[in-house]
Amino acid sequence: MRWTELLDVLTNSDRKREVLLERATETERMALFLLRREGWSAQISPKDLKEYDIELSRPGMKAVVQVRNQRAKVHLGQVEKFLDFLAHPNPKNHTEGLFISTSGFTPSVYAYLREEKITNLKLAIMREHRLIFDCESVDRAAEREKTTYIGVFTCKGGVGKTTISAHLAGAFALNGYDVGLIDLDHQQNLRKILGEGVYLPSTKGSLGSVISVLTKDEWDEGDYQDTKIVICDCNPEFDANPKEYIRKFDYCIIPTTLNPLGINKNADVIKRTLASIRRENQTAELFVLINSLQTDEPNRNNLLNQALQTQFKQMRETDARLHYINPLECAIRFSKQLLYWGFHLFDGSRPQLAFKTVGRYSYPRMDFLKLADFLEMQAELPRAQTALAA
């Protein structure tokens, strides 16, 4: 049966809700048809409710559906917003959700739902007139073809470069990738804190992922053929970083802080860092990232954010590959977990990342998964797209 025929069947069987159906997109109407075919009682939601698109019911169960038809995969921020709606009281007391995407979901979405043990949200891919609920296997069908190199840079110390390097590696490991974590800093803090590396076990029944901590002389792509992500904790003395690494970087992250001292003192340092990178690498995507964000000061943050954006405005006008990451979209929030990361050196416990759940969530885990997502979405980390386009 053709797409238009399916929509005609749906419309003819739903005359009483004709107005709502006319307001619905074709994608929503197709999702409605497929959900009914799955045995649900389903109807399009009133359009004054922007949080979801379809209402579902079965005996003893009520749920809501969000439908996304977009070219890019649904990322963690979009899913997090839907989860936030489900977690708060709503007029119809919906607490269960289904997120349907026509393009799939980023690896961070699956990792987040697993690691945070989210049970009230299910995912589905809508493709070829059917709903695929085992959608992670579909999304993972296309793997990274080439090794992606990421440098974490700053021409000064004390802004969290090593912490960001290690935990971004942890986010990619949670996404199912073995990661090479290269310590280019002369202080060798990564080796001190993580030793030779860490293993992150999987919670879905398969093998987990390895983060291998290596020096610049130990890394060799031929020795680590399954490692497709390499993250470098760079030396704050720019010229001390091997040029062969700088020239390999696909992405560079420059962390800073959103406070008056950080803006007045660090903005020029960041500009010099960006200019230094460009002398050796013309193609890398460059990202300025806010670290240790204090979320309880929204008004001050807004003013400081505008001031910091202005600092890079001229550079961004001449460099299309320079990105200032708005902290409203993605930032690393201040947390005691990150503040005391490395405490195992003093209490004798094993090396680990600051991903432990405290209270309801692990904010560092969420933030670094969102950062991995941001890189995936904004810079389009290399992937074979043929399987997903089929």
Q: Where are the domains of the chain?
A: 3-139, 148-383
Provide the whole-model pTM.
0.81
Strand, helix or coil for residue 64: strand
pLDDT above 80 for 382: no
19-25 average pLDDT score: 59
CA neighbor of 83 nearest in space, from 108, 118, 46, 114: 118
- At residue 388, the pLDDT reads 33
For domain 3-139, give the CATH number. Answer: 3.40.1350.10
Task: Evaluate whether 371 touches 288 at the Cβ level (below 8 Å).
Answer: no
Q: What pLDDT does 143 receive?
A: 59
DSSP letter string, 227-275? EEEEEEE--SSGGGS-HHHHTT-SEEEEEEESSHHHHHHHHHHHHHHHH
pLDDT category at 10 given cuts 50, 70, 90 is very low
Domain 148-383 has CATH 3.40.50.300: yes
pLDDT at 246 over 80: yes
312: left (phi over 0), alpha (psi -120 to 50) or beta: alpha
Q: What CA–CA distance (Å, rounded) separates 363 from 284?
A: 28
Beta partners for residue 231, in sequence order? 150, 181
Q: Which long-range contacts (CB under 8 A, 24 or more apart) does 260-264 make?
A: 260/304, 262/159, 263/304, 263/307, 263/308, 263/311
Phi, psi of 119, deg, nearest 5: -115, -10
pLDDT tens track for 188-233: 889 899 999 999 887 666 678 999 999 999 999 889 988 989 999 9
Contact 37, 61 (CB under 8 A): no
